[in-house]
Structure 1
Amino acid sequence: MDWLIWTGALVTFAGLAALVWCILSVARARRENLPDPELRARLQRAVTLNFAALLLSALGLMMVVAGIMLG
């Protein structure tokens, strides 16, 4: 089950990288002083991606735990 642990670690890392990207994109959008509707659209897109990144990280951690328990 070593492969499950390492695959889960990679999936978790991808999710964390996406979370960092979300943080940076929101910070960049706030710095640009965009009009309110455009800022809202960017933030809505970032929130959607943020939830997907959290789900990806959680699935990766579940894979790691399953690999440890099965191994």
Structure 2
Amino acid sequence: MAALIWIGAAMTLVGLAGIVWCIIAVGRARKAGLDEDGMKGVLRRVVAVNLGAFALSALGLGAVVAGLLLG
């Protein structure tokens, strides 16, 4: 079950990296001073990545917990 723990930890770290990327992308978009349509386009893309990153992170944490309970 150690492999499940390590795989879950890796998934969680990738998810967290995606969340950090979303924060940086929105910060850059705000500093760029985009108009309303430009900002909406950036936010649509970032929201999709953000949801995927949170889902991946949650699945990774679930895998870690499952590995700990089974191991």
The reply to whether TM is greater than 0.5 is yes
Runs of 4 or more, structure 1, over 3 Å off, are none
Matches within 5 A, 1:1-71: 1-71=1-71
Identity of aligned residues (%): 51
Q: What one-letter code is carried by the residue in structure 1 that aligns with 2:63? A: M
CA RMSD of aligned residues (A): 0.5
Q: What one-letter code is carried by the residue in structure 2 that aligns with 1:64? A: V
* Count of equivalent residues: 71
Unaligned runs of 5+ in 2: none
Unaligned runs of 5+ in 1: none
After superposition, give the CA deviation of every residue in 1:1-49 in whole Å (9 maximum; x if it has no partner).
0000000000000000000000000000010001110111101110111
Give the TM-score, by structure 1 length. Answer: 0.98
Residue 22 of structure 1 aligns to a residue whose secondary structure is helix
Give the TM-score, by structure 2 length. Answer: 0.98
